[in-house]
Copies of this chain bind each other. A is one copy, B any other.
Amino acid sequence: MSVIGQRIGRLEDRRLLRGLGHFVDDVDRAGQLWMRVLRAPLAHARILSIKAEKALALPGVEMVLTGDDLAWVKPIPVRTRTEHPLDDFLQPVLARERVRYVGEPVAVVLADDAYLAEDAAELVEVEYEELPVVLDAREAIRSDAPQLRDEVGNEAATLSMGYGDIEEAFRNASRVIEAEFKIGRHSGVPLETRGLVAEYDRGSDHLTIWGSTKVPHFNRRVLAQLLDMPLSRISIKKTDAGGGFGVRGEFYPEDFLVPYLARKTGRPVKWIEDRAEHLIATNHSREQRHRLQAAFDNENRLLALRDEVWHDNGAYVRTHGVIVADLTLAMLPGPYRVPAYEGTAHVALTNKTPCGTFRGPGRFESTFAREHLLDVAAAELGVDRLELRRINLLDPSEIPHVRPLSTLSTDVILDAGDYGGLLDKALQHSGFEDWVEEARELRDQGRLVGTGIGYFLEKSGLGPYEEATVEVDPTGSVRVLTGGASLGQGIETVLAQIAADQLSVPPEEIEVIHTDTDLLPDGVGSWASRSTVVGGSAVMLAAKATVEKALRVAAEVLEASTEDLFLESSEVKVAGSPDKALTLGKLAEACDPQRSAAMGEEPGLGARRTFSVEHMTYPYGVHLAQVEVDPETGGVEVRRYFVAYEIGRAINPTLVEGQLIGGAAQGIGGSLFEEFRYDESGQPLASTFIDYLEPTVAEIPQVRTLICEDAPSPGNPLGLKGAGEGGAVGCGAAIAGAVEDALRTPGAITELPITPDRIRGLARRRDRPTRLGAT
């Protein structure tokens, strides 16, 4: 039986559950200095002067550096480039002349310990001249708005895409439904904050860095450029990571500062972000306003969709460039038949923390906008919300569906699927009809219970390629090197299963190594739900090539024909000769450099392979929710939650379920609780967990899941589609729909998160106030 598809326990948990993980804060280097970042206390201000004398006077303080000291450093470049010129909006590693958001790095302090560094940072005196702020994307792009930069304006980019004759479609429409929605600013908040340790050896001009996640090879290239160092003189080393979610692992100012200071001082430098920093320094995400129009014919068929998006990007364009807005527009039509489409997005800069990607970037937002629009349309058109979706979902006969759009530099080709079929399965497995019935009964008892649905299309498996090496050593130990990174998602387990399947070795005996630029000098990283799809395919190819080599070598050693050989239980055996067998370890021994050369082989038993893809693969699914609203407190209780997800093939269903459940928790958080709010001066109001409301186990229901493997991707050998983000992206729509259903106020929920304040406001405006309770 193939080990693929088996629910083996996470291999990394052998380490993590025994407290033997090796997170960046576990890295200590002898003689290390601690870095503390002094951050701007104002959202918009001119820096008049910085005085470090008092800080430097503290014994044990090694150095204070300001933006003027680093004027030679280029700003942090964009990783996910588009054709938009963004150079004017990039973030410098330390602010110069002006600060543009609360939390912007202004100076760094190096000291012998973390506490001293923090104390010293408080002694650095910065004189500011406050400037007017702009905090709303739509306002920011008005000509009379306060300007973050002279001359270049606050609109970093205007994106537009579409196809079909949109004007004609709207002219011919029998009904046009309009709506405006806002998605709140929230983000990934991993259990482990960011951190970095860097060590420099002056003699060999070599930097070693711990704490990089997500895209270590890309970050190494950026650092090499910024520091003007040869690539091979920078080693990025593996650490465990307590969550990533898109925000952790991008190249931030600190990713320059820590290695640079290690090189400058010749001493190791360590920096661990504290939680208060994290909430203002690490990428925010999601904040968008959508103005939507949908044209329907008289059979409730969509003729066209139009969306104008104001994307609040905060004060700078960071490494994601404008890709979240790009994805928002490209993914908006989703799984539906949309004959004409026009999307426009204004990427606006405001005096808030810069934004980046967060689990399901552009999809959480666009799914909420589109699905909630369909809910509104269903109510206005007088058609059942499920029926409206069924009418408009692309039919299996229309798949693969080439949508005349492109995003992330790839064409959008929906590769495999039966969208209606999945909806039916989801409804059946969840018992959604019973949920609806139950909600009706409870409403009849005066309780505010409703159900909601969010159908989503996901994208995954972004290219251009991933690297993998499989190595068997003479002791028989198998090592898999991947260009992917661990963000806690279980990559070690999944890749071990894929390799084990080929090598006929128990996955427990396979060591998966990620984030080691010495061992694997190239890689693309773990983001865009690509680690299993692209990275796993590379591992499969490398493992397959390793087996082929093992058979070739065994044929030489055993003087047999490869046709008579087969691999079983880590041994190459000869059909019909049970006594003749060679373990993979013995075969690795036979692959010493000299014997390999004699056989015309490269040294060692193993192979490095690249898996390249041109197009993404598009998983899809549906979120179903049943909620109850407490009209008095404004609280929303999620009573039932279900996610169905078509992912082509599940390497380890337990891990896929974990991804879906964890994703749903974050999606529910963004739908009901989590929001980075600011006061009118641009001061963040959510800088602790008292104010930034991460849902806990008390708020998250038991999320049930259905993993479907009905539509394998044709784009990779295992038929994989990515499982990392679908758990989050449908939540906004499902929850908002369910709350509206509970309140019987179609179209009333226009903003996420649906906070108690907003619920209470809504409840007060409801048609049937008597239903709100006795008080």
The residues of A with any CB-CB pair to B shorter than 8 Å are: 15-16, 18, 20-22, 28-32, 201-204, 221, 224, 229-233, 240, 464-465, 467, 471, 473-477, 479, 511, 516, 518-519, 521-522, 592-594, 596-597, 602-604, 608, 610, 612
Contact = CB atoms under 8 A, between A and B. Distances in A.
Contacts of A597: 465, 610, 612
A474 B612 CA distance: 20
A233 B478 CA distance: 10
A475 B224 contact: yes
A203 B22 contact: yes
A464 B612 contact: no
Nearest to A20: B203
A123 to B, nearest CB: 28
A518 B602 CA distance: 17
A476 B231 CA distance: 9
Contacts of A229: 475
A522 B589 CA distance: 11
A593 B609 CA distance: 9
Contact of A465 (B203, B224, B594): B594
* Most chain B CB inside 10 Å of its own CB: which residue of A16, A20, A471: A20
A29 B199 CA distance: 12
A26 to B, nearest CB: 9
A522 B591 CA distance: 11
A500 to B, nearest CB: 16
Given A231-B477, A473-B230, A594-B465, A603 B204 contact: no
Given A518-B518, A597-B612, A231 B473 contact: yes
A602 B602 CA distance: 12
B594 A603 contact: no
Nearest to A524: B593
Contacts of A592: 522
Given A519-B518, A522-B603, A603-B467, A31 B28 contact: yes
B594 A230 contact: no
Contacts of A477: 230-233
Contacts of A32: 30
A495 B608 CA distance: 27
Contacts of A30: 28-30, 32
A467 to B, nearest CB: 6
Please provide the 10 A-B residue pairs with the shortest distance between their CB atoms, ordered closest to farther. A230-B477, A20-B203, A28-B30, A15-B203, A593-B610, A231-B473, A230-B475, A465-B594, A232-B473, A20-B202
A586 B240 CA distance: 34
Contacts of A594: 464-465, 610, 612
Given A18-B203, A232-B471, 4 more contacts: A16-B203, A21-B203, A229-B475, A230-B476
A224 B589 CA distance: 14
Contacts of A603: 467, 522, 608, 610
Contacts of A471: 232, 521
A592 B612 CA distance: 11
